[in-house]
Structure 1
Amino acid sequence: MASHAVSATETTRSGSKRNLHCWSQLPLDLLRLVFERLGFADFERAKTVCSSWRSASKISEPNNQIPWMILFPKDKNYGILFNPEEKEKQYKTQDLGDDFGKSFCVATCRSWLLMLDDRGYIKDVPQYKFYILHLLTLERINLPSFEYGITSPVLWVDEKTQDYLIIGMFGEENAVSFKRGDNSWKIIPHLLGIDECFKMVYKDHKLFCFNYFKLCIHDFSGEIPLEIFKISVRECLPRSVGGIRPLGSRGLPYLPTIRYNIVVTVRGDVLFVKSQRPLRSKKWTFQIYKMDSSKKTKWDKIVSLKDETILLDLGITVLAKDLEGITRNSIYFNGNLSEEKYQENNIFIYNLDSKKVERPHKFLFSSLPFISARWFFPSFKRE
């Protein structure tokens, strides 16, 4: 056995000796393969090991397919972060500002939060104050106040250039936006046919707008948004729809019995999700339809997501087959199972296999009172 032992050193052509057991001397290509298999938390830890590992991290990307959750404790200037991979571990953010506890999150993009503080008034006119905040670096972008509540806002941020875009609806006919370089909110004149739009998803420079009658897809990759697709939703959606209100509305939670969402999958397919909870009931049911892009009026009902999972508040799916802490073939949604204030913002799981609603990570939700919870994908700006 001893004759087959591997030597701990190797002599190079120059005559110097190299330690084969020294992790800091692993080839850069091999380190890169290792780094790109790590989740965000392990990636950030690994790059602090030594200078060669830090160099490898600069040419690698972490496996950012694992969503984290942020909880918003009531009236606190910090958030609680939870990584599903680490189960019963949680992190407390740094001080996020005096107004953080009085604001609430209305959209996320990776580690960026779109926050709304609606406590301001100018001559008795309410002012909706928005700002963008990076959870980990504490970078903050203050936006001009807006005189109206905005429905279904979406946020996009380019980590490298710091370009950003916010889009939302106010009233029944107007879409507004704010992007880097603007000095005021602007009506988007090119978004035709999205009257009464109450759900939006922004992915891969495409805006998916959903109203009572149809789904419209607009391409935002150019200077002017272009409509590239339109499909009717009448076969899935009755005219009476509940649960729609402008952001900034206060008071007890509105208790809708039916909700409708648009979801864009990992592969770019579009799903229509109908969720229903009978009045005074704790039971939620879900129906999912997949858009047939070859037929502009066709939606096919599906009963399984297979290895994907829906994050309903983000309007996307993630591949969950090998994700620790995320249940495959499920829908993660913000809902309410009682009349308690704020509980409409708690996160639940609807398992499509068992047809049951579950509370994820019960220890986390019982550890402290909180107002709301949101999913996000942790990231730092690349060096």
Structure 2
Amino acid sequence: MASPALALAQSPPLKPPAVSVTRRIRHCWSELPLDLMRMVFERLGFLDFDRAKSVCSSWQYGSRQCKPSNKIPWMVLFPMDKNYCLLINSEDKEKIYRTQHLGDNFAKSICLTTYRSWLLMQHRYKEKEVLTRTYPKHNVYILDLLTRERINLPAFKSANDGLSNPILWIDEKTKDYLVIGMVDVDTLISFKKGNNSWKEIPQLPKSCTEDFFNMVYKDHKLYCLNCSFLYIFDFLGEVPLKVFRTSVRGYITTKGGYISRPCNPCALNYCKCNIVVTLRGDVLIVKSFGPLVSKTWTFKIYKMDPSTEDNWEEINSLGDESILLELGITVLAKDQDGVTRNSIYFTENKYFGGYEKNGIFIFNLDTKKVEQQPQAFVSSSMPLSHAHWFLPNFKRE
């Protein structure tokens, strides 16, 4: 009789555990369920989305079912006399995207402001009209530069060069929209979906609206700044209501928001003031000082604090947020590739003393240095008519 030890040795070998069998099965990422693939793609920014859809044919198919998420500012550039725009993603400044043809008259228009992927456009004047100041009625329209959807607005008359201090807001889901702007020094007009014509905003005393030089619209509130006061109007109802006023004397020292004074025989300095509303609703005054010839800029930021005697206190940091100056808002920069925290994103599309400061810039409040964007394009020979920071929305409700 065989010993127990020998019997054990001669018995059939034991089957490996089921887990070992499982390990021998190779997972194929290309066979992810479509629902799971959509969940992944919906969480990706534009650059990662673009890379992921190139992995394989099934991922490319899955990418067509969703759109990339975007929380960072892009640059939109307007080449002179062209019917298209150039787009630059802050995550990848070396790549330039070209939009579709945006209409035969696009090159004859100028972008006044942006909201998400929408542009507020106004037809340019002819040189003869500028010289003689015999302006016709002003024509404006709203254009989605990603889908080419266009909303034409009625013409209006203005003593200015069209709408000044323009505001654009649009609801991506309902397509409700609101456009606000000044047509002379004391007249504020608006147009919203459902109206037949532009309307002067009622119940705003002339002493309020006179000399408004900067406005921001956020969460159904209009923030208006002039040389003496900051006003806040509630637009949630049918009629705008003034809900707040505070003095800015001592912080705004010049009519129209600009100071021009000699700095040295070869250069002039100027100061510009902007209202900014942060993500959590704090109200800031941002004063920018910049010479006309060099690229040296300095900024001062004051935060409204009703608990203090004069309502304003100077701050030196934005924390994990960054300012989009021309839009009057902040964006979260923490854990966002392509956004520099504690920085101010701004544009210059103006002429001073024959010198053109036309471009897009970032001022870092930590290093106190300014960087012109994008370096690769700035060095090219293509002239720009305008440039803007904007927040494109690739998703549609």
Q: TM-score interval w.r.t. the shorter chain?
A: 0.7 to 0.9
Match of 2:201 in 1: 188
Among candidates 32, 37, 43, match of residue 43 of structure 2: 37
| Residue type at the aligned position of 1:312 | L
| Aligned mates of 2:275, 2:347 — CA distance in 1 | 15
Task: Go from structure 1 to structure 2 and tell me whether the alpha carbon gap of 1:35 and 1:224 turns closer, same or farther (over 3 Å shift).
Answer: farther
Shift in alpha-carbon separation, 1:340–1:135, aligned structure 2, 3 A = farther
Q: Which residue of the other structure, out of 304, 318, 340, is the alignment partner of 1:291?
A: 304
In structure 1, which of residues 365, 368, 371 is the aligned counterpart of residue 385 of structure 2? Answer: 371
What is the one-letter code of the residue matched to 1:115? M
Q: Which letter maps to 1:202?
A: Y
Residue 94 of structure 1 is matched in structure 2 by 100
Alignment partner of 1:144 is 2:154: yes
Q: Rg: which structure is higher?
A: 2
Q: Tell me, yes or no, if structure 1 residue 77 matches structure 2 residue 83.
A: yes
Q: Which residue of 2 aligns with 1:105?
A: 111
- Counterpart of 1:21, as a letter, is C
> What is the rounded CA distance, in whole Å, between the counterparts of 2:221 and 2:345 in structure 1?
23
Mapped to 1, the partners of 2:390 and 2:349 lie a distance apart of 21
Alpha-carbon spacing, 1:80–1:155, altered in 2? closer, same or farther (3 Å): same
CA distance in 2, matches of 1:257, 1:179: 35
- The count of corresponding residues between Structure 1 and Structure 2 is 358
Residues 194 and 216, structure 1, Cα contact 8 Å, conserved in 2: no
Deviation at 1:224, TM superposition (A): 1.8
Secondary structure of 1:87's aligned partner? strand
- Cα distance in 1 for partners of 2:247, 2:22 equals 67
Contact kept? 1:118, 1:127, Cα under 8 Å: no
Aligned to 2:170: 157
1:261 maps to 2:268:
no
Counting aligned pairs with the same residue, the percent is 54
CA distance in 2, matches of 1:221, 1:300: 29
Using the size of structure 2 for normalisation, the TM-score is 0.80
CA distance in 2, matches of 1:338, 1:51: 48
Displacement of 1:42: 4.8
The residue correspondences of 1:43-82 to structure 2 (distance < 5 A) are 43=49, 49=59, 57=66, 62-82=68-88
Shift of 1:110: 0.5
Q: Distance in 1 between matches of 2:135 and 2:249?
A: 38
Q: Point out where structure 1 has 5 or more consecutive residues left out of the alignment.
A: 10-18, 245-254
Deviation at 1:324, TM superposition (A): 2.3
Counterpart Cα distance in 2 of 1:129 and 1:32: 42
Query: 15, 18, 28: which is aligned to 1:21?
Result: 28
Structure 1 counterpart of 2:392, one-letter code = P
1:139 partner amino acid? E
Q: Deviations over 1:279-324 (max 9, x none)?
A: 6554221110011144584111011112211111111111123232
Quote the residue 1:15 is aligned against.
Answer: none
After TM superposition, give the deviation of residue 8 of structure 1 in Å. 7.0
Query: Which of 137, 142, 155 pairs up with 1:127?
Result: 137
Hey, what's the Cα distance between the residues in 1 that align with 2:177 and 2:109? 20
2:184 aligned with 1:177: no
Higher helix share: 2
CA separation in 2, counterparts of 1:354 and 1:126? Answer: 47
Counterpart Cα distance in 2 of 1:239 and 1:339: 18
Tell me the alpha carbon deviations over residues 227-277 of structure 1, each in whole angstroms, 9 at most, x when there is no partner.
Answer: 222221113111444549xxxxxxxxxx87110000111221111001112
Offset at 1:63?
3.1
Q: Could you tell me which residue of structure 2 aligns to residue 13 of structure 1?
A: none
For residue 357 of structure 2, give the secondary structure of its aligned residue in structure 1.
helix
Indicate how the Cα distance of structure 1 residues 25 and 325 shifts in structure 2: closer, same or farther if over 3 A, else same. closer
Contact 1:155–1:166 (CA under 8 A) maintained in structure 2? yes
- Over 3 Å counting, the alpha-carbon distance change for 1:241 and 1:137 in structure 2 is closer
Report deviation, 1:5.
Answer: 6.7
